[in-house]
Amino acid sequence: MSKQSISTKPVKGMRDVFPADMRIRNWLFQHWRTVAKSFGFEEYDSAIVESEALYIRKAGDDITKELYTFEDKGGRKIALRPEMTPTLARMIMAKGGSLPLPARWFSIPQCFRYERMQKGRKREHFQWNMDIIGLSSVAAEVELMAAQYTFLKNVGFVVEGEKTEIGFKVSNRQIIETFLDSLGITGETFAEVCIVMDKRDKIGEAATIEQLSQRGLNSEQANAILNLLNIRGMDELRETVGEDNPGYRSLVELISLAEAMGIASVIEVDLSVIRGLSYYTGTVWELYDTSGSVPRAIAGGGRYDRLMESLGGKPTPMVGFGFGDVVITLLLQEKKKLPTNQTLVDDVIYPIQKEQFAIANRLAAQLRGQNRTVLVEYSERRFKHVIKLAEKVGAKRMLIIGESEAAKGVVRCKTIGGNQEEQPLSDFGL
């Protein structure tokens, strides 16, 4: 066989997950699952490959340009999913009218986007999704925000009082839609203009005006849009768009429900939150780190009441969020909130020579039957190496069997950092 030298690095933008990282990932997913279930959400999943057609959108948001695509052997145009939302809509459509609504579903899919690499952005990430299908009240948005809030609180972020570590920026696309409508900007141009508005912070005012003019807007319209993006807070908003604006009214209701839910401390109204996905129709929101150490959004969500229809399904109100694993793990690490020293095994069994392997295995089987996690150390190494290993895996106990123990029918039990005592093997059911 010819030899070749393979790079040890994963493909650019992808991550290897070594056991220490996997422990953290499992811990994070466990928190996500626990919170979602505590709100009565059911888990679903799908394959990571989808039909490319599912992501073709007229307004052309970035996600559709970052697709990993290929043709399968049957000539089908396939994409690695960049997000879960279109898959969710497809699955709901597949159920026809048989699914009782409202439905509350969550998932933790792996998503792929050929993005420019930067802090907090990879070409592959896992994304906690929670979506409510069939509820048009903003009570749904508030419930989803409460779930995000609960997760953040559970992992130790400060989310109360003045010094909240995570903020929720909330806006509403209907405000923008009504406002743009009054400027004569409607239909497909509206979705395209939203995508340009979303980039304002990245590209600056001059480039925003230029891109708006490429979409047929005059300078008066462009300036009115830039003014709208600078609005912060409800008073300024009411003065600019008027209190009859349906998006404004919906935000008022959202804030009042958020107060009742006890999560209003993290929520602020910020019209510069547009979101880069063209399917949103109502509330949009993003979570950010108030210290600014990771500039990318921690999570993002919104209402997308017309997506099902645009895919050929029945009009169905839908709202949800995606919460990636990359930024939150970076933040948890920076703020020293990641778990340390997790126990991996309860017992380390140490047969001193291979003659005691069989009895060690029988003892291990017995203990595993009692739901204990057990590692048998077969290396025949000296005691000091084995004790180091036991400490590393957080074992509570070592069970040592040498020639003399086996002859006597006992095992030497040593609690980590404590005493040793002999115990008959019969105590363990052997």
Residues engaged in binding ligand HAM (CB under 6 A): 83, 85, 113, 115, 121-122, 125, 127, 129, 131, 277, 297-302, 320-324, 326-327
Q: Nearest distance from residue 83's CB to ligand HAM, in Å?
A: 4
Nearer to ligand HAM, 167 or 302 (CB): 302
The residue whose Cβ lies closest to ligand HAM is 324
Nearer to ligand HAM, 62 or 253 (CB): 62
Nearer to ligand HAM, 113 or 169 (CB): 113
Nearer to ligand HAM, 307 or 399 (CB): 307
Nearer to ligand HAM, 298 or 413 (CB): 298
Q: Nearest distance from residue 84's CB to ligand HAM, in Å?
A: 6
Nearer to ligand HAM, 109 or 351 (CB): 109
In this structure, which amino acid lies at residue 19?
P
Nearer to ligand HAM, 221 or 329 (CB): 329
Nearer to ligand HAM, 299 or 411 (CB): 299
Q: Nearest distance from residue 428's CB to ligand HAM, in Å?
A: 48
Q: Nearest distance from residue 175's CB to ligand HAM, in Å?
A: 18
Is residue 77 within 8 A of residue 105, CB to CB? The reply is no
Q: Nearest distance from residue 121's CB to ligand HAM, in Å?
A: 4
And the tokens for 169? Answer: 């920026």
Nearer to ligand HAM, 297 or 395 (CB): 297
Q: Nearest distance from residue 250's CB to ligand HAM, in Å?
A: 17
Q: Residue 145 class from Cβ within 10 Å (0-12 exposed, 13-18 middle, 19+ buried)?
A: buried
One-letter-per-residue 3-state SS of the chain? CCCCCCCCCCCCCCCCCCHHHHHHHHHHHHHHHHHHHHCCCEECCCCCEEEHHHHCCCCCCHHHHCCCEEECCCCCEEEECCCCHHHHHHHHHHCCCCCCCCEEEEECCEEECCCCCECCECCEEEEEEEEEECCCCCHHHHHHHHHHHHHHHHCCCCCCCCCCCEEEEEEEHHHHHHHHHHCCCCHHHHHHHHHHHHCHHHHHHHHHHHHHHHCCCCHHHHHHHHHHHCCECHHHHHHHHCCCCHHHHHHHHHHHHHHHHCCHHHEEEECCCCCCCCCCCCEEEEEEECCCCCCCCCEEEEECCCHHHHCCCCCCCEEEEEEEHHHHHHHHHHCCCCCCCCCCCCEEEEECCHHHHHHHHHHHHHHHHCCCCEEECCCCCCHHHHHHHHHHCCCCEEEEECHHHHHHCEEEEEECCCCEEEEEHHHHCC
Q: Nearest distance from residue 387's CB to ligand HAM, in Å?
A: 41
Q: Nearest distance from residue 326's CB to ligand HAM, in Å?
A: 4
Q: Nearest distance from residue 296's CB to ligand HAM, in Å?
A: 7
